[in-house]
Amino acid sequence: MATTYCSVADISDFIRVPITATTTPNITQVEKLINRKEAELDRRMGHAWRSKKITREVHDLPLLYTYGWGTPIFLQHRNIYEFDAGEGDKIEIWQGSSAEWENILSNSQWYDIEYEYGRLFLRGFIFSILRKNRCRVTYRYGGENFAGDTEIPEDIKDCVIKMTTIEILNTSLRMDVLPTGGAANISESKRKWAEDIEKCIDNRRELFVIP
């Protein structure tokens, strides 16, 4: 299975032990651990350096207006892929009179967007009375071909390597012998790695404003 932030070879280099199809743990098992740690890191940071899809993110229409742009909607993520109906992206507006959602993605006269910042601007709604839960957006962010980061930062890679290594050491009831120098050294190493992980997450965590 595919991994993004680091590879099995990176884990093998870090712990100085070969990982193959026949070792314990094997390549497939370590890839599963990497995938789980990638998902955990994305969740804790509120951002991703791989492709993610957000479905039906609902927003109120704020009583704000930016001249030349429109009413701003602040999406929960930044570095957005360019909208593509073929990929399932949508900008839906609730039509109270008909009680249904209308997708305006194909008509760009109704909106503008700053992909880097995740700011969507709607036109024609400045005098709208219906504002609560008026808009919902389905979009993609992170990964290749997005507006923003083009490479996975080294500290993110290092973080996932250490998260995965700790999990390997914690969950291996049976594993090939590691040249660790003793149980005390393992515990101390895991403690330092955990500190590095938390420092990375603190430095990279996204800030969200709750209205």
- Specify the pTM: 0.82
The percent of residues above 90 in pLDDT, for the chain, comes to 68
Q: What is the mean pLDDT of residues 155-170?
A: 95
Mean pLDDT of the chain: 89
How does pLDDT run across 45-99, given as a tens digit for each residue? 999 988 899 999 999 999 999 888 999 999 999 989 999 999 999 999 999 889 9
Phi first, then psi: give them for residue 103, nearest 5 degrees: -85, 115
Are the CB atoms for 92 and 85 separated by under 8 Å? no
pLDDT for 122 = 96
**Domain boundaries of the chain, sorted by first residue:** 8-48+152-204, 52-141
**1: confidence class by pLDDT, cuts 50, 70, 90:** confident
Residues 6+ apart with CB under 8 A from 36: 167
Across the beta sheet with 100-103, what order do the strands follow? 52-59, 135-141, 90-95, 100-103
pLDDT for 87 = 95
Distance CA 200, CA 203 (A): 5
Q: Is the pLDDT of residue 167 over 90?
A: yes
Are the CB atoms for 136 and 61 separated by under 8 Å? no
